Structures are given as C-alpha cells and as structure tokens.
Amino acid sequence: MFGSITLRLAAVYTAVFALAVAAIGAGAIAATHAALVQQLDRRLSTEADAIAADYAEGGRQGLLDELEERRGAPGELSFGVQTVAGAPVAGPLARLNAPAGLSAATLVAGGRRHELRLLSRDLPGGYRLLAGGDTAILKELTRDMTAGFALAFVAVIVVGAGGGLAFSRQVGERLSAISGTAEAIIDGDLSRRIPVVRAGDDLARLALTINRMLDRIQALMESFRQVSSDVAHDLRTPLSRLRQKLEQVTLETADKERRSHLESALEDVDALLSLFAAVLRIAQMEAGAGRSVFRRADLAELAHTVFEAYRPSAEELGKTLALEAAAPGLVEGDPELLVQLMANLIENALAHTPPGARIVLAVQTGARAVSLSVRDDGPGVPSGERGRIFDRFYRLERSRSSPGSGLGLALVAAIGQLHRAQVQAIDARPGLEVRVTLPAAV
C-alpha cells in the first residue's frame, strides 16, 4: 500500500487533518467550558450581591423573603442561608458545608444528585449566604461538543481515505502510462510517447517535458545509428575494392611465399569486412528491422540442428556438447537469426573453456515463455563483469589474446532484443550460463 507515493501522501494528509480536528475540538471544548464556568461565577456573584443588598435593607425577614422568591425551576440558581457556625437557617442549600469563596459541591435533593458550583459569602450579623448553580447543562454541552467533534474526526478520516484512494488511482493511472512508455522504450520502441491527458496540470507538464527529452534522445540515437552505419557502410566500399585487388593479385602470383602473405592479408580484410557486417546487422536489429519476416519457429528443432552441426567440432576440441530439449518450444521469430544466436553462444563457450569442458545447449518450454540456454563448466565470468559481456567489443582481460571480434555476444543481445527476449548471464557455478527467454508463441 505504501509503495504508492500518492497513497502515502493522502494517508499522511488525512492523519494530519484528523489530528488538527481533534486538537481544535479539544481546544474549543476547553475554552467553551471555561467561558461558561466564568459566566456562571459572574451570575452567582451578581445574585449574591443583590441578596446581600436586600439583607442590608430588609434585615433577616427581607433575606428570607428574597430566598423564597428565588426558589425557582431546576437549572436555575438556588440559594441557602446558614449561621456562620453552620446551622441551617433557610433555603435548599442551607445544609451544605462550603469554604468561603467559590467551590464545587454535590447536593442530593429529591433522590437526585446535583453537581453545583457554589459561592459562599458571609453576611453581617453572623449569617452565611450560599449561592449555587447546577453544572449539568455545562456537562451536557461539553458532551454534545465532544460528540460533534468526534463525528467530524471520523468524517475527516473517511473522506480523506476515500479521496486519497481516488486521487491515488487517478495519479497512479497517469504514472503507469509514463512507466508503460518507458518500458516500451526499453523494449526498443523509441517512437513511443507518453499520452498527455488534462493538459496544463503538473503531471501533464512533466509528460510533455519527458516527451521532449525522448524526442531528443530518439534524434540523437538516430543520428548516432546513422553515422555508425554510414561509417560501416562507407568503409565497406573501399574495403571491398581492396579485397578485389588483393584477390586479383593473389590469383596472379605464382611465388608461393608471396602468395601466402597475400592470402593472409586477404583473410585480414575478410575479418574486417565481417566485423563491419556484424556492426551493421546489430544496428539494423537495434532499430527493430527484421520483425516483418518473423514466423513460427520451434526452438527445440533449431537447437537440434545447431547441436548436431557443432558436435563434431566440439569433440575435435576435446569438449563435450550436450543437448537438453525435450519438448517443442514454439516462438515467433526469425529462424536464421535464432540459429545464429545459438551458434554464437556455443562458439563463445567453445572459445572460453579449456579442453574437457562440458557445454549444454538447453531449451525449456513453459506456458508463457521458452528459454534457451547455453551453459559451460569453464572458468566463468567474474560477477562484476557479467553484465558487460553483451557490450560491443567487450572482452574479458584474460580473453584479449584469443581470437574473436568481441561482437558475438553483442549480436546475441541484439537478436534477443529484436525477439523481445530477456538475455541474462548467470553464474553456473562453475562456468557461465547465458539464458535467453523468449515469449512463447500463442
């Protein structure tokens, strides 16, 4: 769930909002409570002042009349008079015991408990006036407010989570459009672009920027490819002429020693020409050329042909070549290129293993993919270099002196890419395994 940045953002924002609601609620309730208590205290004090004034005017009887008058409905203020010593004189609160000033008290009347805010004031003549206000309303108000804020808290979480999910899905769809485009480009389709929906927002602007970057990369790749194939192509013409002239001179030369020098020069020219041809083929395949002739091919059958072609040579080199291909492995592809891929892998294994090595060509057929692998039990490739063996002209330090163009595995990678296959170099413990996994034909 937290693998999605939008979902994570939505969750964090929801939590922050919910906490803010809780804090605002708590603050509001506390402030309201304090204000109401203050208001009650003021009323108590005002009433007590009024009663004290009446007492000063009307004496004890005036005081009692005043109390009788104020015996009101529940929720209203109530009063009581007692002697300074605590003996009750009159009023519902006459029996309460209270310190001077403001305090809290509990009155049990008519079988019900009342929480009171109490003001006690001594009057001249040895009397003490008690004024109390019921705090039940205050409590009710606090409870109602708490319930209200709790509801708001829950609502914030629900709306936040729902909104976050919707937001995340919408952003997620647009992000997956971006990653889908990137995948297609990794797959070799440099012409793919991110679809721009809802022009003007920041994701759309990002998409436009990435698309412009892709335009630039495609232009660069095309010019690079153009330049390298132009170079390879333009060099082929003079090289071909050179080859012709060398061949002509060779055919005309009777002197044996000279002739053998010329023949070896001819071989070098041929090696150069085949190098350029390989560079051109790789460039063509990287551009995706050749998929138009794809047809259904059985990798197991092709592997059998390649295995059978190479077995005698492997034996002459003192190595064992084995085939593991039990079931047909149907793929869509170019059989000629697939054969060349297998041949290059076998030749690579033959070139980099000591005599006595065992090389296995295997085809494994799964429901969705067919994998083709060549593994050997030779010295293998150090893990740090394993990823680079498919690079053009890349050669291990120890192989620099051995023959080969350094393009065999690059061609394997290019053929694999053309077939939308995954090409991996794996540690075969000991030795190297190169595995090419192609999508199975449907």
Partner 1 sequence: MKLLLVEDDLQAADYLGRALSDAGHQVRHAPDGREGLLLAGGGQAYDVIVLDRMLPGVDGVTLLRTLRSAGVATPVILLTAVDSVEDRVEGLEAGADDYLAKPFAVAELLARLNALARRPPPREAKTELKVGDLHMDLLKRSVTRAGARVDLQPREFRLLEYLMRNAGRVVTRAMLLEAVWNFRFDPQTNIIESHMSRLRGKVDRGHGAEMIRTVRYAGYILSEPS
Map tokens 């990794």 to a residue. 186
DSSP for 313-350 reads HHHHTT-EEEEEE-S--EEEE-HHHHHHHHHHHHHHHH
DSSP state of 353: S
State in angstroms the smallest separation of the CB of 210 from partner 1: 33
The smaller minimum CB distance to partner 1, of residues 103 and 253, is found at 253
| Cα 159 to Cα 152: distance, rounded to the nearest angstrom | 10
State in angstroms the smallest separation of the CB of 424 from partner 1: 23
Map tokens 């971006």 to a residue. 178
The smaller minimum CB distance to partner 1, of residues 77 and 438, is found at 438
Enumerate binding residues for partner 1 (CB under 8 A).
233, 236, 239-241, 243-245, 247-248, 251, 263, 273-274, 277, 280-281, 284, 289-290, 292-293, 305, 308-310, 312-313, 315-316, 334-337, 339-340, 343, 346-347, 350-351, 403-404, 408
State in angstroms the smallest separation of the CB of 220 from partner 1: 24
The smaller minimum CB distance to partner 1, of residues 209 and 240, is found at 240
Strand segments, DSSP code E, in 45-158 are 78-83, 88-90, 101-109, 112-123, 127-134
The smaller minimum CB distance to partner 1, of residues 18 and 342, is found at 342
The smaller minimum CB distance to partner 1, of residues 202 and 316, is found at 316
Cα separation values, 98 from 103, 116, 121, 125, 282, Å: 7, 11, 10, 19, 101
The smaller minimum CB distance to partner 1, of residues 81 and 415, is found at 415
State in angstroms the smallest separation of the CB of 181 from partner 1: 28
**Cβ 21 vs Cβ 153: under 8 Å:** yes
| Cα 410 to Cα 388: distance, rounded to the nearest angstrom | 10
State in angstroms the smallest separation of the CB of 287 from partner 1: 11
**Cβ 441 vs Cβ 330: under 8 Å:** yes
Residues ≥6 apart with Cβ < 8 Å to 153: 18, 21, 22, 25
The smaller minimum CB distance to partner 1, of residues 79 and 310, is found at 310
The smaller minimum CB distance to partner 1, of residues 381 and 415, is found at 415
Residues ≥6 apart with Cβ < 8 Å to 213: none
| Cα 199 to Cα 371: distance, rounded to the nearest angstrom | 43
Q: What is the dihedral of CA 100, 106, 109, 111, to 10 degrees?
A: -170
